[in-house]
Each structure stands twice: as structure tokens, then as C-alpha cells.
Amino acid sequence: MRLGALLRKTMIENFRDWKMLVMTLSFAPFFVVLMYFYFEGATTSYRITVVNRDQGAVAQELIKRFEEVESGEGTTVLRVAEEGDLAAAQERIRDRSADLVVEIPEGFSNALLHYSEGREGPPLVVRTYGDPANVKYMMAAAFCDYLTYEYAALITGETGPMVLEPVSLGGVDAPDEFDLYVPGLLALALMMLMFTAAGTVIKEKDKGTLLRLRISNMSTAEWLAAVSITQVTIGLLAVALTYLTAWSLGYRMSGSLFDVAVVTVLSSMAIVGISMIVAASLRTIFDLVTIGTFPFFILMFFSGGMFPIPDVQLFALGVRTINANDVLPTTHSIAAYDRIMNTGGGLGDVAIELAAIVLLSVVFFAVGTWAFTRRHMVAR
């Protein structure tokens, strides 16, 4: 009965505080739209600059083969540009207008033709240049290496002792760059719960209404249950809106919505737990929108959803390495979303991530509740 009253009150307050609610619900969808336009809604492509010192027919054919590589959706994978000067081409690497430079040496065509006629000569050197800091560099290099070797084998008829045959697992088309961001953006939608969850609690302190709750028959557990249920509801709404935005821009999920909902519910609980720690440390809404942004940014930048971050190994647990950002529940949320949404995994495939989220939820919730109760709910 008391839980019902508290739940109704908390729901009404959260949904009437439309500015905070709109901010929470629209933040991640806004970034979805932003990312979509940033990546032009296209399949991932790699910019190759070719410095062709050969000008023979074989070299021209190789370049043509680069240009003809297509994704499963029929879009161009390698965007090829030619540059006469190597230094100018290398400058493109530095200013990121190219992901890879391929230097085709002089005499490339003749050398391959000689090989095809059984005549041997010194080995050809086809140099590639790239910036290891560019995440697209290695993929672009892999594509070009493979195509070059394949084409050389075709011309010379020398297949070598093995054939490299890449097989795609997961049963889905290769996700493009935009697809890869969607799980992180779903987690971003959940991170925003920190403001509504901590705000709900801090507002009671800030406005003095916590006093009325404390002197009533309500228990802290009932109140936190009401807050949690409300925040999980908002979390589900935020994730649904974020997904719908991505869907309207062409994103198609491979896994099931139910599995996504399970990850969302568990992750929301973990965020509420973190929010309780934040709420225990702060006294006013002003504190929340200033100091409270610090933990939000930690979640946002160190969960691995926005950009890849290097692993900082803490310890090993069996065969699994535990990294520093594994203490953030959203790290596991992003991994679970990615597995379900982009590779078609089910709940069984993300069991470890779910277990980690549950464990971290329990820990954060316990610490947050203890700290808040001790600071604000106990007579001292």
C-alpha cells in the first residue's frame, strides 16, 4: 500500500518534471541522429590513396579491383583516390583524409607478367603507409593486402601452399560504423538516468520533503523500490526511443527486443545504485548538475561506448581478464547490447555480462543505500 502510494507519487513527479524528463529521453536519440549524419548513414568505407608509379595495365586492373569491392548492401568499401606524389599522399594520412596509402612500384605490371611467363626476378615491394592511431588503418591494410595477394596469384598462377578464406560468424551482415555505435548510445540513454534517479532523491532533501517521508510509516526500502521502479520505467522508455530513432535511420537489430529489455532493466538498476551513491554525497539539485556530472562523464567516456579505450588489466579471473573499466556496469551493458543487437546473440551469449551487471548493481545499490540512509535517513 505504501509502496503503491510512493510509486504513484514518484512517477507523477518525474513525468511532470518535463524538462528533466525530455532531457533524459532525448539525449541519446539526439546523439543517434548526430552519429548517423556524421557517418552519412553509409556502410563503413576506407579511403585509399594509391601512388601508382607503374601505369601499366596490371596496376590499373589492381586499382580497379580495389574500387570494385562492395559490402553486403552493395555499397563501396574502398574509396580510391590517386596521387602522383608520395609525400602528398602521406600528408593525407596525417590530415586523416586517407586511411591507407598504397605505393605501387615502377615495373609492377611487367614484373607480374614476367612471373606469369615463368621468369623470375627480384621480389616486388608494394609499400603501404598508415597511422596506427587511425582505427580504420588496419582494416584498410587488411583489405588491400588480401586483394593484392589474390590478384598477384591470379596473374602469376601461383596460388601458394594455402588459401586464406575469411568466414563471417554471427549469421548477419557486417555492421557498419553507425551500427557499432548504437549499443553505446543505448547505454548512454541509461546513463542519463543518473540525473533523474539522483534528482528524485536529492530533490526531497533539497526541498525538505524528505522530513515528511521520514516521519511517516514509510521504510527506506519502500521508497527506494518506488524510485527504482520509476527509473527502470524511464530507462525502458529512453532505450525504446533511442532504438526507434536508430531504426528510423535504417538500423536493424539482429537479436530480440526482449533480450534488450532484460539488459535495460538490469542496467537501469545498476545506474540507480550509482545514483544513490551520488545522492548520498550531495545535498542540492545545484550540486547534482555541477559535481554530479563527474560520475556521469566517467560512465560516458570509460565504458567504451563512445570510443575504444585501451585495456588496463587489474587481475585475471580464470581465463577472463578483468580491466579497470569492468567496474562500470555500463561497460557490460554495451558489450551485452552489442552482442544481442549486432551479432544476434541471445541471453545465454551474454550471461557473463548479465552476471557482471547484476553483481555491480547489488554492490552499488548496497553501498548507495547504506551511504544515503546513514547520511540522510537516520536520526543523529
Partner 1 sequence: MPVKDVDYALSISGLTKSYGDLVAVNDLSIDVHRGEVLGFLGPNGAGKTTTVGVICGLLAAEAGEITVHGHSLSHEYAHCKQLIGLCPQDVVIWEALTCMEQLTCVGRLYDLDARAARSRAQELLESLGLSDRRDRLAGTLSGGMKRRLNIALALVHRPRVLILDEPQAGLDPQSRVLVREYVGALSDTTVILTTHDMDEADRMSDRVAIIDHGRLLVLDTPDNLKGSVGPGDVLEFRVAKGQDEKMERLRKDLPDGVTDKGLEGQVLRLVGGDLLNLLPVLLERFEHRGVAVEDTVIRKASLEDVFIGMTGRRLRQ
Site of interaction with partner 1 (CB under 8 A): 1-2, 4-6, 8-9, 12-13, 16-17, 207-209, 211-218, 379-380
Residue 209 CB, nearest distance to partner 1 (Å)? Answer: 5
Concatenated DSSP letters of 117-141: TT---SPP--EEE--TTSTTHHHHH
Nearest by Cα to 203 from 193, 195, 215: 195
Q: Which is nearer to partner 1, 187 or 202 (CB)?
A: 202
589492381: which residue's cell? 62
Residue closer to partner 1 (CB basis): 14 or 268: 14
**Residue 97 Cβ, how far from partner 1 at the closest point, in Å?**
52
- Rounded Cα distance between 186 and 175, Å, is 16
Q: How far is the CB of 207 from partner 1 (least distance, A)?
A: 7
Instruction: Record the cell numbers describing residue 72, joined without a space.
Output: 553486403
Question: Which positions ≥6 away from 350 have C-beta within 8 Å?
Answer: 259, 263, 335, 336, 339, 340
Q: Which is nearer to partner 1, 6 or 282 (CB)?
A: 6
Select 223 or 243, whichever has its Cβ closest to partner 1. Answer: 223
Nearer to partner 1, 4 or 346 (CB): 4
Which of residues 176 and 222 has its CB atom nearest to partner 1 in the complex? 222
User: What DSSP string describes 146-206?
Assistant: HHHHHHHHHHH----S--------SSSPPP-HHHHHHHHHHHHHHHTHHHHHHHHHHHHHH
Half-sphere exposure of 165 (CA within 13 A, CB side): 2
The residue among 21 and 155 lying less far from partner 1, judged by its C-beta, is 21
Query: Beta strand 78-82 with 100-104: parallel, antiparallel or unpaired?
Result: unpaired
SS3 assignment for 207-245:
HCCHHHHHHCCCCHHHHHHHHHHHHHHHHHHHHHHHHHH
CB of 285 to partner 1, least distance (A): 13
Closest CB 298 distance from partner 1, rounded Å: 30
| Residue with smaller CB distance to partner 1, 1 or 164 | 1
* Amino acid type, 205: K
Cα 131 to Cα 228: distance, rounded to the nearest angstrom: 46
Please state, in angstroms and rounded to a whole number, the distance separating the CA atoms of residues 327 and 323: 8
Q: Based on CB atoms, which residue is closest to partner 1, 9 or 79?
A: 9
CB-hemisphere CA count at 13 Å for 370?
6
Give least dist CB 269 to partner 1, A. 24
Min dist. Cβ of residue 277 to partner 1 (A): 23
* End-to-end alpha carbon distance in the chain: 29
We find the least distance from the C-beta atom of residue 75 to partner 1, in angstroms, to be 49
| Least distance (Å) between residue 210 CB and partner 1 | 9
DSSP 103: E
